[in-house]
Structure formats: C-alpha cells, structure tokens
C-alpha cells in the first residue's frame, strides 16, 4: 500500500507554534482544564461547535471569553457573543430587534449589529432552554452558517459556538440542536488534591499569548489538507460497527465531522497526517449520554499503534480496535495519552 503523503507544515510553522503556545498558556491559567482547553482549540481549528456540561462556577464562560480574547483582529481582541438563555428568551435578544425603519418600507428585517449573526465566537449558556421561537433559526445558523434576515439568507462569520448546560437536553425537539455540537465534554469542580492550589491561584505575571486572525485563518485553510491514511478510515468504519453493537449510534453528519476533528487534532500536535493518537479526540464526539461516554475507552486506551494498523491484516486490526474499545489488555497494543 502506498503511504498517504502528509501535509507539509513548514509554511505554517509560525502560526502553529503560536497556537501551541496559546494552548499551554491557557492550560497554565485554568486549573485542571487541560482537556477542556485542548477540546476547545480542536473545535476552533475544525470550525465546529462544543457543548459543555457541568455545574455553575466551573469557569465555562470565562474560558471561552479568554480564548476569544486571544484571537486578535487589527487593533482589538475578538469579543464573543455571550448570552444566557431561558424559556422566555426572544429572537430579538439573540438575533437583533426588528428594524422600525424597515417596517415603514414594508420590509421585515432585523438589526443584527453586536448580535449572534455577526459573531465569530459565541457562548450560549443554558443552551437547551432554547424555545421553539428561536430554535429553527439557531439550527440553521449553527449548521449551515446562514441567517434568514427577512427574505434574505445571509452567511454568518461564526467559527465556533460553545453551548453550556447543567444537564442533558430533554425532549425530541432538542435532539437536532444536540447533534449540532460536534464535540461534547463534561467539567466538574476541581479535585480535592488541587483545591488548595485553587485557593492560592493568582494571575500569571507573564502577558497572555495571542494569535492573529490571519494566522488562525491560515490554520483553518490547512485543516482540510491534513491527510487521513486508509488504515484510519478502516478503523473508523469498524469503530462505528462496534459502537452500534453497544447501542451507541452517531449520525452520518457526526462521522463526517469527526474527520475534521481528527485533522485538527493532528495539526495541533504538529503533524500533517492523522495518526493513532488523534483518535482519542473522538472520545469527546461519539457519545449521547454520560452512560455511553463511560463505555468509550479513556484517552490512554484508545491509542492504537499505527505500525500495527499498517502491517496487520484488516481482521487483526479490527480485533485490536475491539479490544481497545472494550478495555481488554493486549500486549501489542501501544496505548498512549494525548498529554504527558
């Protein structure tokens, strides 16, 4: 089999190094949030959305605001659109008020300035309290990146939306919204071991690391070019079968999105080709409930040796993948974590 050529990252050395420094800087400023920072950055690189489940006071909104502020446009940092949703949230609050001047001309349109349709980054707290009055417009905005302003369908610049909630969505009407979030992770309060550090946590004296919008755009353009070797595709196909056997079913859209997640993770790791370690990001993408998430392998168990994938037969490779998914040990399965 001819090896799949990887993307040459030499022209991206500057932006990539900056993004990796930004990740390390954010992780240093948020206690026990390394995985959350990594997941958010993968989402930003892949231009996908993230759902965060966890109790209040776990720095969900602060992390998103700090990340957005690190992406600088000429003259100023990026300001995310931040809103707390309730059952009574109106379309005007998210999408802008109706233009009175437009009504006088028999035109029904909204003034979207400083609202969600003009945001590059968004944080929607209590996302699953979205009501039917805003749900359809929100679905199109998240998935198709368009907003219907009166008779005109407009593209929106949204890169990543983070939706936060204290609980899972309830009801079939929210299933489509839940599926719009390609990545999902859970956060809790800091551990007992880290609690004394939390109480003494002080602001770092070093200036925050930032990345320019131009540099981020260059990385966005590189993500689709990151190579995915055939053995990784074969592993994903078998993974889908195995998860279906456990009644864990992901939509076709989610599997397609997973390719960009793998590419983005590989790029963040400084590689131009997806490798076995990148499969670990799918732990934050393929579950529907916390119970299903507990059936997925942890970050240490999901890593498979790419050497094994390339030199073994398909049946042997699938057998190794099955063992990794079920947590069974295998002497030849080299399991590694994303971070040391």
Strand 183-186's sheet: what is its strand order? 81-84, 121-125, 160-165, 50-53, 183-186
Report how many domains make up the chain.
Answer: 2
Is pLDDT larger for residue 124 or for residue 2?
Answer: 124
Same domain? For 230 and 162 the reply is: no
Domain with residue 87: its CATH number is: 3.40.50.300
The verdict on residue 2 lying in a domain is no
Q: What's the whole-number mean pLDDT along residues 297-318? A: 48
Residue of 91 and 338 predicted with greater confidence: 91
CB neighbour class for 13 (10 Å; exposed up to 12, middle 13-18, buried from 19): exposed
Residues 6+ apart with CB under 8 A from 40: 50, 63, 64, 67, 160, 162
In a domain, 45, yes or no: yes
Q: What is the pLDDT of residue 101?
A: 92
Burial of 255 (0-12, 13-18, 19+ CB in 10 A): middle
Instruction: Say how far apart CA 19 and CA 70 lie, in whole Å.
Output: 10
> What integer pLDDT is reported at residue 318 of this predicted model?
53
Q: How many CA atoms lie within 13 A of 70 on its CB side?
A: 25
Within-domain flag for 334? no
Over range 275-297, report the average pLDDT. 86
254, 115: one domain: no
Least confident of 41-55, 152-166, 195-209, 304-318: 304-318
Residue 338: pLDDT band (50, 70, 90) is very low
Asked if residue 332 belongs to a domain, the reply is no
Helix boundaries (H) for 204-298: 213-222, 230-245, 252-268, 290-295
**243 with 288: CB under 8 angstroms?**
no
Tokens of 62: 């602060």
Parent domain of 308: 219-326
**Domain membership flag for residue 1:** no
pLDDT for 304 equals 47
Helix, strand, coil % in the chain, rounded to nearest 5: 50, 10, 40
Distance between CA atoms of 324 and 330, rounded to whole angstroms? Answer: 8
243 and 172 fall within a common domain = no
Asked if residue 33 and residue 158 are part of one domain, the reply reads yes
Structure tokens that stand for 226 in this block = 């990151």
Domain assignment present for residue 263? The answer is yes
Is the domain of 53 the same as that of 169?
yes
On the question of pLDDT at 335 being above 50, the answer is no
- Pair (272, 250) in one structural domain: yes
Q: Please report, for the domain that includes residue 229, its CATH number.
A: 1.10.8
User: Is 333 contained in some domain?
Assistant: no
Q: Are residues 260 and 161 both part of a single domain?
A: no
Q: Residue 295: its pLDDT value, please?
A: 78
Same domain, yes or no: 41 and 173: yes
Q: Are residues 232 and 287 in the same domain?
A: yes
Tell which of 190, 211, 232 closes a domain: 211
Share of the chain above pLDDT 70, in %: 85
Task: Using the 3D structure, point to which of 185, 211, 237 is the last residue of a domain.
Answer: 211
Q: Considering 158, 191, 211, which residue would you say is the last residue of a domain?
A: 211
Which whole number is the average pLDDT over 142-150? 94
């Amino acid at each position: 089999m001819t090896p799949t050529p990887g993307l040459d990252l030499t022209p991206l050395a500057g932006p990539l190094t900056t993004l990796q420094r930004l990740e390390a800087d954010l992780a240093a400023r948020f206690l026990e949030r390394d995985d959350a920072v990594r997941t958010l950055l993968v989402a930003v690189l892949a231009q996908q959305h993230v759902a965060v489940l966890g109790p209040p006071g776990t720095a969900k909104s602060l992390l998103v605001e700090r990340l957005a502020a690190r992406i600088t446009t000429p003259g100023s940092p990026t300001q995310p659109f931040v809103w707390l949703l309730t059952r009574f949230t109106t379309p005007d609050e998210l999408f802008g008020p109706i233009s009175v001047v437009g009504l006088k001309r028999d035109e029904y349109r909204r003034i979207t300035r400083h609202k969600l349709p003009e945001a590059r980054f968004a944080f929607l707290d209590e996302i699953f309290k979205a009501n039917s009055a805003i749900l359809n417009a929100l679905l199109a905005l998240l998935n198709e990146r368009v907003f219907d302003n009166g008779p005109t369908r407009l593209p929106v610049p949204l890169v990543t939306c983070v939706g936060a909630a204290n609980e899972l969505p309830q009801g079939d009407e929210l299933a489509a919204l839940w599926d719009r979030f390609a990545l999902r992770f859970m956060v809790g309060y800091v551990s007992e071991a880290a609690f004394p550090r939390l109480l003494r946590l002080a602001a770092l004296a070093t200036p925050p690391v930032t990345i320019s919008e131009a540099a981020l755009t260059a990385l966005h353009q590189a993500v689709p070019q990151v190579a995915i070797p055939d053995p990784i595709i074969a592993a994903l196909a078998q993974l889908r079968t195995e998860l279906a056997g456990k009644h864990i079913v992901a939509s076709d859209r989610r599997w397609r999105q997973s390719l960009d997640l793998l590419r983005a993770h590989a790029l963040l790791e400084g590689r131009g080709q997806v490798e076995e370690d990148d499969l670990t990001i799918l732990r934050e993408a393929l579950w529907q409930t916390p119970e299903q998430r507990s059936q997925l392998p942890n970050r240490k168990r999901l890593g498979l040796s790419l050497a094994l994938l390339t030199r073994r037969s398909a049946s042997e490779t699938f057998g190794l993948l099955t063992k990794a998914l079920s947590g069974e040990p295998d002497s030849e399965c080299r399991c590694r974590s994303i971070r040391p």
